[in-house]
């Protein structure tokens, strides 16, 4: 019995690592939850960086973890025309910060938001 208890203790004292892909997914879902965000924007520059460096990107999101485990996030968004872009960006930053810190326990150092495009909403067709 004691040997099993010893093994359990060793396991709970191990390291926990959350992958960059998981952090990027949390970021992406958090960003698209905000009213006014149409989609994440994938940029050619981001794709090229992903091929050259070891940093992971998920469609319009770049996540970096510093040596002291602080997260920095870059997000590229497409927003709907006619909405207040600074308000949308601030809401995205707030929601991403809240979800990353609560779900991972990591410290979020910065969240950079780039609005890379605008989409015009199609007017709804009336049922006449």
Residue pLDDT, tens place only, 73-119: 999 999 999 999 999 999 999 999 999 999 999 999 999 999 999 99
Q: How many residues does the chain have?
A: 128
Interatomic CA distance for residues 49 and 79, integer angstroms: 24
How far apart are alpha carbons 24 and 15 in whole angstroms?
20
Q: How does DSSP classify residue 14?
A: S
**Which H/E stretch holds residue 23?**
helix 20-32
Tokens of 105: 């326990």
Per-residue pLDDT of 41-73, as tens digits, reads: 986 454 444 444 444 446 789 999 988 889 999
Cα 96 to Cα 29: distance, rounded to the nearest angstrom: 9
Q: What is the pLDDT of residue 126?
A: 57
pLDDT of residue 32: 94
Nearest residue to 23 via CA among 97, 87, 78:
97
Instruction: Measure the CA–CA gap between 85 and 124, rounded to whole angstroms.
Output: 23
Instruction: Please give, one letter per residue, the 3-state secondary structure of 41-99.
Output: CCCHHHHHHHHHCCCCEECCEEEEECCCCEEEEEEEEEEECCCCHHHHHHHHHHHHHHH
């Amino acid at each position: 019995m004691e040997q099993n208890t010893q093994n359990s203790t060793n396991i709970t004292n191990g390291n926990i690592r959350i992958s960059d892909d998981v952090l990027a997914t949390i970021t992406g879902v958090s960003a698209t939850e905000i009213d006014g965000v149409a989609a994440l924007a994938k940029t050619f520059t981001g794709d090229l960086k992903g091929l050259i460096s070891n940093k992971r990107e998920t469609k319009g999101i770049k996540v970096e973890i510093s040596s002291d485990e602080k997260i920095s996030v870059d997000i590229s968004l497409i927003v709907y025309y006619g909405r207040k872009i600074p308000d949308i960006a601030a809401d995205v930053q707030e929601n991403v910060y809240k979800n990353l810190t609560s779900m991972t326990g990591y410290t979020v150092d910065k969240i950079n938001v780039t609005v890379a495009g605008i989409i015009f909403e199609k007017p709804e067709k009336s049922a006449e």
